Structures are given as structure tokens and as C-alpha cells.
């Protein structure tokens, strides 16, 4: 598996896309790629500790205008509506190129913030309507919400998307790709919940051995060895906790552990405000917080896991549908005990467990 340090990532991207470097506390750095309009690296330490997955062939993927470069990206949902050529039968998945990688340009940048923008054209694959509009993403360095005394990198991300059609039933969609070292050293997704949550499968039934059903959280194994998708209903979310989903894993080629966590108050709070139906059970309940485990055909180049948030429902303003949402992304590095302590602070989890080697 290719693991990029910040210097290697910047050097790799130097002649294929512009990058903006945001500088945080004590040498931490966020690497924002103009291609794809996203953070590709969050480095609590300058040359170590990126938990965001980056395609091992990222340079070649950019040159061929591929979508799967990694990092933290913005999509719109429901997936069935925009990402399937035959949506009624859930066949022919594809990534609409105007959504990802789109045609982002960096508008403004400084050492602490930058913004990107892209025009967007998407097709409703069910009725074949075309929607046109724009996506703006603004990234700025953020201080941690409480003192931890650990090395960290923090970003606030403002998502703004509008389409030239009113009354669209769609959500923004935030997806961060995460690193796993495979079945021999899996990572653990952790989602805080109310008591006795009812997790949903989105592609096919998730084996019990891949889940941790805690008193007030759900854990999900990321080993990039088989395809599964977990979702949590809005009824099970504890909205008093700002952090909505986290990911713990051992840093590749290190004894250190990392923690990547997404926070947001701009997510749906009811079934009626979330439209991303499940391929498993399209006529049943919907999940708002999601996590995906991919399969890696080439085991030397491990694919990614994902931690995902469905964002606020688009609202109609003057015959236009507009989606605006903020979320925050923090990355930490430290010893296993230090990281688990931080996890408990953010996620308020009781009797925390993670998957082991």
C-alpha cells in the first residue's frame, strides 16, 4: 500500500494540479487539491499521520481525469437518482464527472483558508431531467473544540450547492475516504447513538463479526476486503453530540494510532428530510450517517473505507434548490491509549471497543 507523507504528496501533485497548503498548530498541514476540489491530506505531523486515503496512483488518476483520487469529497444524493444508469434495477453504477472530479478552480487562498468552485450539470436518471448549477467549497483551519494536548489538524468545511430546479428532494453528501491496512490490521468506524441503536445494511446484510453493537454506539470494521455499507437512522442519532462519526486505526508503519472525526449540526433529523434510500430495502427506513467498506482486487494497493454524512436537505429559493451545510474534520495522532481517550471525549462512548489485529 502506498502511504504518502506530506512532502511526497505535494511533490507528486506539483505538476498535475495546483495545491493550497493550510498551516495549523505546531506544523500541522492540510493539503487542498484544486483537482477534485478537496482536502487530500490532513497531517497532524508534517511528514506522518494522514488518515485520509489517497489513491496510490493519484498522479495517473488525475491525468486521466479519474474520480477516485481519495480525500474528503462532496456529492449529492440520493445515489439511486444520480449514480445509476438503470436506477430502477440498481444497475450500471457510475460517478457523474460533473460531480466528481468536476472542474474546480481555487478562487481564494491564504495560509489558513481557501475556497474552490465548480459548475455542475447532473441528470436525474429516472426522468432524464437535467439540472445545472454550481458548487462552492470553503476550507479553513480550525482549532479543536477542547484541549487535548495531542498533535492534530482541524478543518471547517462550508458546502454550498445550488441547482436550477425548484423543490428538488436531494441532500448534500460528505464523504471522507479512510486508510485501512487490510484484514490483518483493520480500522474501526465509531458512530455515537442513543441507547440500543438499530443499524441498517445498505447493500447486503452485514455479518455480526463486522459490527460492534455497544450500549450507545455502533462500530463497523474497515478492512477493505469485502463490500458492505452501514447506515444509522436519524431516530438513533444523539444530536446533542456534535461529533457524528469517527474512525480509529493504527498509522501504517508505526506504533501510533490515528483518529479522524466528522462533526456537524447540519444533517437531517427525520426520515422525511433524508432521501438516500437503500439498495437493500428501498421501501424501508433510511440512514443519515453511513460508512462504506470497499473491496481491494489488488491487495498490494488497498482500496478505501469511507465515513459519510448526509447533509441538510436542499431548500427552494426563487425557483432554485440550494443546499448549504457546514461540517468539521479533525485528525489526531498519538499512542493507542491517548487516542482512545480522545475518542471518548468526542463521541461520549461508554465501554469503548475497537477491532483488533
> What pLDDT is attached to residue 301?
79
Over residues 90-100, the pLDDT tens digits come to 999 999 999 99
C-alpha cell, 31: 493539503
- Report residue 25's pLDDT band, with 50, 70 and 90 as the boundaries: confident
pTM for this predicted structure: 0.96
> What pLDDT is attached to residue 1?
63
Q: By the 8 A CB rule, do 227 and 293 touch?
A: yes
> What pLDDT is attached to residue 91?
95
Average pLDDT of span 145-171: 95
Across the chain, mean pLDDT equals 94
Over residues 190-225, the pLDDT tens digits come to 999 999 899 999 988 999 999 999 999 999 999 999
- The most distant pair of C-alpha atoms in the chain lies apart, rounded to whole Å, by 55
3-state secondary structure 101-151: CCCCEEEEECCCEEEEEEEEEEECCCCCCEEEEEEEEEEEECCCCCCCCCE
> What pLDDT is attached to residue 169?
96
Over residues 343-352, the pLDDT tens digits come to 999 999 989 9
- Report residue 233's pLDDT band, with 50, 70 and 90 as the boundaries: very high
In the numeric block, the cell 460492534 is attached to 212
Over residues 245-277, the pLDDT tens digits come to 999 999 877 889 999 999 999 999 999 999 999
Average pLDDT of span 176-193: 94
Which domains occur in the chain, in start order?
6-347 (2.70.98.10)
Average pLDDT of span 172-187: 94
Average pLDDT of span 24-51: 90
Contacts of 121 (CB under 8 A, 6+ apart): 98, 130, 131, 132
Q: Where are the alpha helices (DSSP H) in the chain?
A: 6-13, 58-63, 79-82, 336-347
Average pLDDT of span 128-154: 95
Percentage of the chain lying above the pLDDT 70 cut: 100
Q: Flag whether pLDDT at 19 surpasses 80.
A: yes
Q: Flag whether pLDDT at 239 surpasses 80.
A: yes
Average pLDDT of span 68-86: 97
Over residues 274-310, the pLDDT tens digits come to 999 998 888 889 999 999 999 988 777 788 999 999 9
Amino acid at each position: 500500500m502506498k502511504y504518502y507523507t506530506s512532502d511526497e504528496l505535494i511533490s507528486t501533485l506539483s505538476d498535475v494540479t495546483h495545491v493550497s497548503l493550510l498551516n495549523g498548530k505546531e506544523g500541522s498541514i492540510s493539503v487542498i487539491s484544486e483537482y477534485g476540489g478537496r482536502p487530500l491530506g490532513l497531517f497532524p505531523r508534517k511528514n506522518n499521520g494522514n488518515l485520509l486515503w489517497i489513491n496510490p496512483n493519484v498522479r495517473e488518476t488525475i491525468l486521466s481525469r479519474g474520480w477516485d483520487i481519495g480525500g474528503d469529497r462532496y456529492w449529492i444524493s440520493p445515489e439511486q437518482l444520480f449514480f445509476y444508469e438503470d436506477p430502477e434495477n440498481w444497475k450500471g453504477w457510475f460517478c457523474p464527472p460533473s460531480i466528481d472530479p468536476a472542474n474546480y478552480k481555487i478562487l481564494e487562498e491564504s495560509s489558513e483558508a481557501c475556497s474552490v468552485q465548480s459548475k455542475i450539470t447532473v441528470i436525474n436518471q429516472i426522468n432524464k431531467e437535467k439540472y445545472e448549477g454550481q458548487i462552492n467549497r470553503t476550507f479553513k483551519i480550525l482549532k479543536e473544540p477542547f484541549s487535548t494536548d495531542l498533535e492534530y489538524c482541524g478543518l471547517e468545511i462550508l458546502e454550498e450547492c445550488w441547482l436550477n430546479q425548484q423543490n428538488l428532494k436531494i441532500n448534500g453528501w460528505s464523504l471522507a475516504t479512510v486508510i485501512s491496512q487490510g484484514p490483518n490490521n483493520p480500522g474501526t468506524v465509531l458512530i455515537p447513538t442513543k441507547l440500543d441503536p438499530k443499524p441498517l445494511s445498505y447493500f447486503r446484510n452485514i455479518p455480526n463479526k463486522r459490527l460492534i453493537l455497544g450500549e450507545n454506539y455502533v462500530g463497523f470494521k474497515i478492512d477493505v476486503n469485502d463490500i458492505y455499507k452501514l447506515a444509522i437512522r436519524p431516530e438513533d442519532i444523539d444530536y446533542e453530540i456534535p461529533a457524528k462519526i469517527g474512525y480509529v486505526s493504527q498509522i501504517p508503519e508505526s506504533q501510533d494510532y490515528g483518529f479522524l472525526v466528522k462533526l456537524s449540526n447540519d444533517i437531517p433529523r427525520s426520515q422525511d428530510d433524508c432521501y438516500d434510500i437503500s439498495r437493500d430495502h428501498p421501501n424501508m427506513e433510511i440512514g443519515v450517517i453511513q460508512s462504506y467498506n470497499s473491496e481491494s482486487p489488488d491487495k498490494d494497493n488497498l482500496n478505501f473505507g469511507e465515513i459519510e454524512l448526509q447533509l441538510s436537505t436542499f431548500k427552494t429559493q426563487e425557483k432554485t434548490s440550494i443546499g448549504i451545510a457546514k461540517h468539521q474534520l479533525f485528525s489526531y495522532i498519538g499512542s493507542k491509549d491517548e487516542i482512545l481517550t480522545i475518542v471518548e471525549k468526542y463521541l461520549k462512548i461508554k465501554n469503548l471497543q475497537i477491532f483488533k489485529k
